[in-house]
Structure 1
Amino acid sequence: MKSPVSLCTGVTYDRSSIQHWLDSGHDTCPATMQVLSSKDFVPNLTLHRLINLWSSKAPTKSPALAPAVSEEKVRVWIEEIKSGKIEMCLDSIVEFVSCGELSRRFLVSFDDFLEAIVGVLNTNCDQIRVLESVIRVLSSILLENGVREKLHKLVFISNSNCLPSFISVLRNGSVEYNIACVTVLESVTMNNQSKQFVAGTQDVLPVLVQLLKTENDHQDLNEAVMSFLISVSITRSIKTRLAQLGLVGALSNMLLSQNAAVSVVEKSLKVLSIICTCADGRSAISVDPICAGAIVERLMKVSKTATEDAVVVLWSMCCLFRDEKAQEKVARSNGVAKVLLVMQSEVGEGNVRMMCSDLIKVLRLGCKNGGGHGGMVSYETKTTHIMPC
């Protein structure tokens, strides 16, 4: 496996293999033959880390064979970190946390270890190898009990100048460490205040959007970045900034890519459904030459939730805000037929069915009036279930 993901049945598969199975028309779990209630994937992060360690020839010893490290030795490590001599012990720490759950649990039992290791990120360290190793250690211990909460306090209260180090890794680190960095960032931004702080930092959003534009073949990285963007897009100003940074263009390319994993496509639709609630987001979708058509193309080819997200975007653009450019692009992409298919499927229920009905009225009315322009003034939708922020 290179990219392990779990189905709703709890069984883990390699992403490409299970995607091929589902794309071939199957709706069951190959191992259990249960009918899938959802075709959504959940990345198996723990297994993914173990695979990366094995493939990079890192130590893969069982906890029983882990190198013996005493409490005194950990105290020495902590003092070396605090005194600025982290390079003396960093390789040993990375090896130790790679040995298994018992090793990680033992290490994080020292409260001042977390404080010391996070403090490295607060020292304006310019050695990318050191920063990458610190991020690797943090990503390895994230799942240990209470670590996320402690890291949240350390990053945003005790060491509020950590973000430049995260940004340095995102700019200069390898893809593997980019993923780890985004994962740690998302894990520690646990409330609205921290999310606004991270998103409001000058360079965080630009570097993440740039990663989506330049590293679009790395599915795991794309998925990690979009999960983070979904998490932090909680205010109009954040959504506006994402639109101004050119996020819509990057998402459109992913929707059209034949190589994009379904999970990446679905997260792209989720992000679009979020940013279309702000004026700059709608404007970016409107002027993008491929976005509306790419959304139509993905209808009924993704999960129920993602199809709902796609319908929300189309309805917002074409019905709620009456964007004539979007109406024309949707109509030219065989939008009426695709929306009718959604209505006739199990997705077309409740609010989704109402939005589809509105879309068909708008698109048919536009066709009768010469391409989606003349008749729109007289159309008044009664649908009020979704309103912009």
Structure 2
Amino acid sequence: SGQTYERICIEKWLGDGHDTCPKTQQRLPHLSLTPNYCVKGLIASWCEQNGVPNPDGPPESLDLNYWRLALSESETANTRSVDSVGFCNLKGVKVGPLEESGTIEEIEGKEAENEHPCVQEEVSELNVLERYQDLLSVLNEEENLRKRCKVVEQIRLLLKDDEEARIFMGANGFVEGLLQFLDSAVREGNAMAQEIGAMALFNLAVNNNRNKELMLAAGVILLLEDMVSNSNAHESATALYLNLSCLEQAKSIIGSSKAVPFLVQLLGSETDPQCKLDALHTLYNLSTVHSNIPSLLSAGIVNGLQPLVISGDNAWAEKSIAVLLNLAASQAGISEMVSACGLISDLASVLDTGELIEQEQAVSCLLLLCNGSEKCCQMVLQEGVIPALVSISVNGTTRGREKSHKLLMLFREQRQRDHPPADANMSIETSQDPMPATATAQESNPPCKSVSRKKMGRALSFLWKSKSYSVYQC
């Protein structure tokens, strides 16, 4: 739990044979004691400021005099009751002057008005733990789905903002119980119960990788596949997919499941915008794993992302281009994107109209596509991107300026390959009848749209003639 306890109490807890955390009930990875250097530093600083010598460590043997000192806080003359920092099993110990025999007498009860604050906190914690156990009992033993649904809703609310509740429930069988509940809801076709169960699991997995791992081991992915195939509870299922996809080892599992076509399909559906955004973020997480790219491409992710690139919404465009960037890390992804009708044009338009971060991503994506592909370079140049690239090279983000310079340099190198210097052309000019050759050359060129021709003319004119621009200074 990260909570600091008295060393003597920890030693007694471990000495009694316990190997779990007293607060969260999680099994300890080792039984070594870790000093709290922060607290020790505060004590040392206070001693230095007040001229008090630093206290020595606890004695080797925990004799009764040391116990009395630790528990009575120097009030040995006034008998009082103390708790043992939550887990020393000393609740109910009455500390007073030692008898000649050196024994400590235990008493059965205490008056509420004399209770130490630690005792009240311990009692409160015990009540909470008892409540959790009661909820788990109903979850596992109750056969009525409606009653179980109410309990799961309570669990969902308890988990919403309580990290300690997530730790305790994850370590005490709630993952299995909630998955069994969700399985029952799916088999009975109860959409409301499915939504409540999925959101309870979502809250249980928030910022807790251990609980995510438990869910994966218990078969949550297969259960979600059944859920999205047989019901309309897409929002809660997508949210849970997103949560699980934050775990590195879950990405490949989800990427090889039926979740991928389901999530891609959501991008083009008329579902809730938040659900679509969750699907997009999940697909982004999956695209960071190279082995997932083939399944993403086969599910049609490029066509699904294309409308979002020019949607006009910054959140959609930025994340969509980020996914395309990840896809462009593979040759299959590059081929798919280059062959996608209109995608190059859409990315080029982002250079003119997008925010700085979107421009940075778009130029990075175009650089990946054009690198090593003359065909793609020609396609990009036909969109008249040179002015926008020059602008980004001056006014863009640091990374955007760097990428735009590289892309401009790439275009310049291709131009030099395609159009060698004028003196070289003159040395090989031997044609006796240039007019037919020109006509033949014109006839051999494939026809293209007038818009593309104009754009191409503007682009090449800008690139070749306007030497004052930074493209010639790269």
Q: CA deviation at 1:363?
A: 7.5
Letter in 2 for 1:223: L
Equivalent residue runs for 1:142-153 within 5 Å: 142-143=205-206, 148-153=208-213
Residue in 1 that maps onto 2:361: 309
Residue in 1 that maps onto 2:245: 186
**Partner SS, residue 208 of structure 2:** helix
Residue in 1 that maps onto 2:200: 137
Q: CA deviation at 1:300?
A: 5.4
Letter in 1 for 2:318: E
The runs of 5 or more residues in structure 2 that have no matched partner are 1-126, 421-444, 446-452, 461-474
Residue in 2 that maps onto 1:250: 304
Q: CA deviation at 1:265?
A: 0.5
- 1:153–1:321 distance in 2 versus 1, CA, 3 Å: same
Contact 1:107 1:113 survives alignment (8 Å): no
Q: CA deviation at 1:73?
A: 4.9
Q: CA deviation at 1:330?
A: 2.0
Q: CA deviation at 1:106?
A: 4.8
- Residue 195 of structure 1 is aligned with which of 244, 251, 266? 251
Contact 2:325 2:365 survives alignment (8 Å): yes
Letter in 2 for 1:272: L
Work out whether 1:281 is the aligned partner of 2:333.
yes
In 2, Cα distance between equivalents of 1:230 and 1:306: 15
- 1:70–1:221 distance in 2 versus 1, CA, 3 Å: same
Letter in 2 for 1:140: N
- 1:356–1:81 distance in 2 versus 1, CA, 3 Å: same
Equivalent residue runs for 1:308-327 within 5 Å: 308-318=360-370, 320-324=371-375, 326-327=376-377
Instruction: Say which one has the larger Rg.
Output: 2
In 1, Cα distance between equivalents of 2:163 and 2:389: 51
- 1:108–1:348 distance in 2 versus 1, CA, 3 Å: closer
- For residues 108-133 of structure 1, the C-alpha deviation after alignment (integer angstroms, 9 at most, x for no partner) is 63422233213445679423433221
Contact 1:170 1:181 survives alignment (8 Å): no
Contact 2:204 2:211 survives alignment (8 Å): no
Q: CA deviation at 1:316?
A: 1.8
- Calculate the aligned-residue CA RMSD, in Å: 3.4
In 2, Cα distance between equivalents of 1:238 and 1:125: 28
Contact 1:74 1:107 survives alignment (8 Å): no
**Partner SS, residue 334 of structure 1:** coil
**Partner SS, residue 250 of structure 2:** helix
Work out whether 1:213 is the aligned partner of 2:273.
no
Residue in 2 that maps onto 1:267: 319
Letter in 2 for 1:327: C
Letter in 1 for 2:260: L
Letter in 1 for 2:344: A
Residue in 2 that maps onto 1:13: none
Residue in 1 that maps onto 2:174: 113
In 1, Cα distance between equivalents of 2:174 and 2:332: 44
In 2, Cα distance between equivalents of 1:232 and 1:223: 14
In 2, Cα distance between equivalents of 1:164 and 1:135: 13
Residue in 2 that maps onto 1:352: 403
Residue in 2 that maps onto 1:163: 221
> What is the aligned residue count?
291
Q: CA deviation at 1:342?
A: 1.3
- By relative contact order (CA 8 Å, sep 6+), the higher-ranking structure is 1
Contact 1:138 1:184 survives alignment (8 Å): no
- 1:301–1:170 distance in 2 versus 1, CA, 3 Å: farther
Equivalent residue runs for 1:66-85 within 5 Å: 71-83=129-141, 85=143
- 1:207–1:102 distance in 2 versus 1, CA, 3 Å: closer
- 1:175–1:241 distance in 2 versus 1, CA, 3 Å: closer
Letter in 1 for 2:275: L
Identical counterparts, % of pairs: 15
Contact 2:297 2:333 survives alignment (8 Å): yes
- 1:100–1:74 distance in 2 versus 1, CA, 3 Å: closer
Equivalent residue runs for 1:343-382 within 5 Å: 343-347=393-397, 351-361=402-412
